[in-house]
Amino acid sequence: MGRRYPLFSYLILFVAVFFPNRLLFADNLSCLICHESLKGTYVTGKGVESSLHVNGDKFAASVHGDLECTNCHVRYEDNPHSLPEESADLALNRIAEAIAKKSPVDPVAQAACSQCHPDIYEEVRQSVHGVNIFQKKEIDGALCLDCHGSPHEIVHAADAGHHSSESPVAYGRIVETCGRCHEKKSVSLKYGFSTKIIERYDESFHGKKYHLGGNDLPVCTTCHGAHNIRAQSDPAAMVYGANKIELCGQCHAGANTKFVAAITHKPIGKDNPIPYYAEKGLILLTFLVISGCAIHIVLDIFSLIRQAAQVRRRRRNEVARNESSVAG
């Protein structure tokens, strides 16, 4: 037993020497010795599939790289550890119990986001996503990890760049990230919103310029918010009623009720007349143009055939007259 700690110290020293780029706490290194080598997934006693693997390099480069593992995994203190039996503090336990259905593997760890980000977490709880999770006990509402990805690999969205794949909430990926849920037909039908929200955005002027690499175009979070997203029927929502005039006016000076009526995600129909009749007009125009071209081509072909027939007829007549002259 007396030789256990010197051996462990040598192991920590080995990792620190051969992996100097990892600015981690010594306790984190002891965690990574196992968790970085663990591959694949496992199934918990509750039948939930999860992974124990942690990429040490990505964790060191993440925004959480200077934290200890136990700052979030507060119930795991001994190493090697067994299943946690001790409970966290009362406030953390209450949050963990509220999101246990959403986060069945380690709800305390996900609830720990509230310790460092209390104001943001409260915004999320009051948002349409938070109400769905904390009050309605649904599991398809978005919580921290649904948008930001693995807590072991989160990087600053501003540092990721427009086309970076590092951060799911970077400007260049936020539409894709929101679309993972908002394009699911099951979710759309369940909550009564369009199944083509992202498609309508992509078709819009904003969406087309965004996908061409524009850096100042409105994206999901520009109009709906990020952590404080409210239901469209909520007077506090950025897209509620008259709030839209102020919202659009931030980019479009002089925006009025008629201007904001052309909602990006609104399905094209008679209740959205400008794009509806414009689409019908373009369809009719396209049909007339194609039909006109087709008729022109058919008439041209008919004219060529008729001309060819006339030429053959004249030639036969000329041959017949020549033969008559020779015979006479």
Q: Give yes or no for residue 177 having a pLDDT over 90.
A: yes
Residues 6+ apart with CB under 8 A from 32: 15, 22, 24, 54, 56, 59
The conformation of residue 132, written as its DSSP 8-state character, comes to: I
Tell me, yes or no, whether 80 lies in a domain. Answer: no
Tell me if 104 sits within 8 A of 96, measured CB to CB. Answer: no
Tell me, yes or no, whether 230 lies in a domain. Answer: yes
Q: What is this structure's pTM?
A: 0.71
Both 259 and 287 in a single domain? no
Residues 6+ apart with CB under 8 A from 40: 51, 53
Of 45-49, 217-221, 278-282, 306-310, which gets the smallest average pLDDT?
45-49
Q: What is the reported pLDDT for 44?
A: 77
- Mean pLDDT over each residue of the chain, to the nearest integer: 83
Domain count, the chain: 2
Percent of the chain with pLDDT strictly greater than 70: 83
Tell me if 282 sits within 8 A of 274, measured CB to CB. Answer: no
Range(s) of the domain holding residue 168 = 155-267
Tell me, yes or no, whether 32 lies in a domain. Answer: no
Percent of the chain with pLDDT strictly greater than 90: 40
Both 295 and 201 in a single domain? no
Both 206 and 254 in a single domain? yes
Own/partner long-range contacts of 231-234 (Cβ < 8 Å, ≥24 apart): 231/128, 234/128
Helices marked H in the chain: 4-18, 26-35, 56-61, 69-72, 90-98, 107-111, 113-116, 118-126, 128-130, 144-148, 157-160, 174-182, 185-191, 197-203, 205-211, 220-224, 243-249, 257-260, 273-327
Q: Give yes or no for residue 19 having a pLDDT over 60.
A: no
Both 218 and 301 in a single domain? no
Q: Give yes or no for residue 1 having a pLDDT over 50.
A: no
Both 159 and 261 in a single domain? yes
Q: What is the reported pLDDT for 5?
A: 45
Both 261 and 285 in a single domain? no
Q: Give yes or no for residue 276 having a pLDDT over 80.
A: no
Tell me, yes or no, whether 104 lies in a domain. Answer: no
Q: What is the reported pLDDT for 324?
A: 74
Residues 6+ apart with CB under 8 A from 59: 24, 28, 32, 65, 152, 153
Angle CA(256)–CA(222)–CA(128) in degrees, nearest 5? 100
Tell me, yes or no, whether 315 lies in a domain. Answer: yes
Tell me, yes or no, whether 217 lies in a domain. Answer: yes
Residues 6+ apart with CB under 8 A from 30: 8, 11, 12, 79
Both 238 and 292 in a single domain? no
Q: Which helix (H) or strand (E) holds 49?
A: strand 49-50
Per-residue model confidence as pLDDT tens digits over 84-102? 665 668 889 899 999 999 9
Q: Where does a domain end: 250, 267, 284?
A: 267
Tell me, yes or no, whether 255 lies in a domain. Answer: yes
Both 247 and 282 in a single domain? no
Both 263 and 279 in a single domain? no
Q: Which residue has the higher pLDDT, 299 or 162?
A: 299
Question: Residue 168 corresponds to which amino acid?
Answer: P
Mean pLDDT of the 55-83 span: 84
Both 297 and 238 in a single domain? no
Tell me, yes or no, whether 25 lies in a domain. Answer: no
Q: What is the reported pLDDT for 319?
A: 77
Report the C-alpha gap between 270 and 274 in whole angstroms. Answer: 9
